[in-house]
A and B are shown apart, each in its own frame.
Chain A
Amino acid sequence: GDSVTQMEGPVTLSEEAFLTINCTYTATGYPSLFWYVQYPGEGLQLLLKATKADDKGSNKGFEATYRKETTSFHLEKGSVQVSDSAVYFCALILSGGSQGNLIFGKGTKLSVKP
């Protein structure tokens, strides 16, 4: 079935370090891909998305490129801040079909130390 696999955390970085969180997917159709972020004690927030191959989603310094050939959607940020500490979820949804729900990865916890 359709699924999302993320690198396991936790990931601990120092402030201003480069961040990569790997995400790969398996899908029977043509998915849209998302990164959601969950800050401590809060619900999930949409961080960025990409709807077709080679699209790059970006927001708040984060970016991810939809790579169909490697079925990947890795999240990157050039310089992380303490405020980026959160759990990051990669997700997909199949576009235009009857399946109307997001499929999430297990999440990757990021801790950024000052």
Chain B
Amino acid sequence: KAGVTQTPRYLIKTRGQQVTLSCSPISGHRSVSWYQQTPGQGLQFLFEYFSETQRNKGNFPGRFSGRQFSNSRSEMNVSTLELGDSALYLCASSFRGRANTGELFFGEGSRLTVL
């Protein structure tokens, strides 16, 4: 069974640009969550999607957005990039039943460097 796949793995952008990251969840998983990982702040929750609907959102500015497609694949977008957006962006999927069990399957991440 294929794991969570994130693309691209590495990318470099300059301030002011925008970026789109992609995540393909494990087959059959309908929930996709995104986290930002930085040395200073650790892992911070961005948002969660389930059946194409955003179910939960973390405390990030509106420059961070996402969406989920009918096949459960998800994308996140960051517009007007700032230096502080440099981070590892992790996607995680889960088979969400009646309640979120917290058992997430993470991809290897997309490492974004903003110059």
Contact of A100 among B56, B106, B107, B108 (CB under 8 A): B56
- Are A101 and B103 touching (Cβ within 8 A)? no
CB-CB under 8 A from B105, the residues of chain A are 46
Residue in B48, B56, B96, B106 whose Cβ sees the most chain A Cβ within 10 Å: B106
B56 to chain A, nearest CB (A): 5
CB-CB under 8 A from A32, the residues of chain B are 101-102
Q: How many residues of B contact A (CB 8 A)?
A: 24
CB-CB under 8 A from A102, the residues of chain B are 33, 43, 45, 102, 104
Given A89-B43, A99-B56, A100-B48, also A44-B99 (CB < 8 A): no
- Are A46 and B104 touching (Cβ within 8 A)? yes
Chain A residue with minimal CB distance to B108?
Answer: A43
Given A43-B107, A89-B43, also A101-B90 (CB < 8 A): no
A-side interface residues toward B, CB under 8 Å? 32, 34, 36, 41-46, 49, 89, 91-93, 95-96, 98-107
Q: Which 9 A-B pairs have the closest CB atoms?
A: A43-B106, A93-B102, A100-B100, A104-B43, A101-B45, A106-B42, A44-B106, A43-B108, A100-B56
- Given A36-B106, A43-B4, A44-B104, output 16 extra A-B contacts at Cβ < 8 Å: A32-B101, A34-B102, A34-B103, A41-B108, A44-B43, A44-B106, A46-B103, A46-B104, A89-B43, A91-B102, A93-B102, A99-B56, A100-B100, A101-B33, A104-B42, A107-B43
